Chains A and B, each alone.
Chain A
Amino acid sequence: MARGRGELASQREVALVDLVDRALNTGVVIHGDITISLAEVDLVYLNLRLLLSSVSTVRRDLAEALDETGGLAR
């Protein structure tokens, strides 16, 4: 993940955040009940702290995960 100096993110990182954001927050909903689990170490966006803003449960879990790990070393 190549970030330039002073850059908050790289293009690749942002593309992945945008993808996760879209996959979780958009799309046709067939019924209200969706169960997903969070992979602990495979989420680049935890490193960036670009938290998803409209899925409140995911946000809470991510915030807790961040507090526990003190941010992910990557």
Chain B
Amino acid sequence: MRALRSDGLAAVYTRHRSHTPQVSRAEVLAHERVLEAVMKRGPVLPLRFGTQLESEKELEEVLRERRDALLSALERLRGRVEMGLRVLGGSDGRSRVGRGSGREYLLGRLDEQRRADRAARELHEPLADLALASALREQPSPPAILVGSYLIEEENVARFRERAEALATNQPDLQLFVTGPWPPYSFTGEEASA
């Protein structure tokens, strides 16, 4: 790993001759480990997995051109981490295809929508209230019915988890998973809406 410094910013990267990043457990974990290591020393902005540039020169240009936006994004993230919530309980989406009548399909979809709305109200919203920012996936893929991301102060991780566990007790038919703390993948300022 190398670091390129430019006027208050540093970019961490590796050089390859030619390389197509592979979405494997190993490579994704390596990506995550670098972020966690850098995060120990200060705020970090994750880049999209697989980002490649031609040269250090190009990287320098990016840092120069985007300096102000990157610096403010980093300051907003200082001392903050991301928590994830994944709520499972939906039916397997694939089993829906080709089964039953059109009416049954629509009723099934309506039912799923109700469950998703209820999860958003009873799970996402209380957790979003604890967070500085949050994001809710619009169409999670079954069996997930809700996928949320929450930016919180690092010292509130335990409190966030406790709140999620308490909320889970009201949802016996759902399986809740809290993940994180993560580097602030979902809160880099690139997202269209929170």
* Total A-B pairs, Cβ < 8 A: 141
Contact (Cβ within 8 A) B88 A26? no
Contact (Cβ within 8 A) A36 B179? no
Residue B50 lies at the interface, judged by CB distance under 8 Å to chain A: yes
Q: Once the chains are docked, how many angstroms separate the CA of A42 from the CA of B175?
A: 25
Q: Which residue of A lies closest to B45 (CB)?
A: A28
Inside 8 A of A50's CB, which chain B residues have their CB? 141, 143-144
Contact (Cβ within 8 A) A44 B25? yes
Chain B 37-67, CB-CB to A under 8 Å as 1, else 0, gives 0000000011111111100000000100000
Residue B159 lies at the interface, judged by CB distance under 8 Å to chain A: no
- Please tell me which one of the listed residues A14, A30, A48, A59 contacts residue B51 in the complex, with CB atoms under 8 A apart: A30
Which of B28-36, B109-117, B119-127 lies at the interface? B28-36
Contact (Cβ within 8 A) B50 A34? yes
Q: Once the chains are docked, how many angstroms separate the CA of A8 from the CA of B74?
A: 36
**How many of chain B's residues touch chain A, expressed as a range?**
35 or more
Contact (Cβ within 8 A) A42 B25? yes
With known contacts A22-B185, A36-B49, A49-B92, A9–B20 Cβ distance under 8 A = no
Q: Once the chains are docked, how many angstroms separate the CA of A12 from the CA of B137?
A: 21
A43 to chain B, nearest CB (A): 7
Contact (Cβ within 8 A) B188 A26? yes
Chain A 13-38, CB-CB to B under 8 Å as 1, else 0, gives 01111111111101111100011111
Chain B residues packing against A (C-beta within 8 Å) = 20-29, 31-32, 45-53, 62, 70, 82, 84, 86, 88-89, 92-94, 137-144, 147, 149, 175, 177, 179-180, 182, 185-186, 188-191
7 contacts between A and B (CB under 8 A): A16-B25, A18-B182, A24-B50, A26-B190, A27-B46, A39-B23, A42-B26
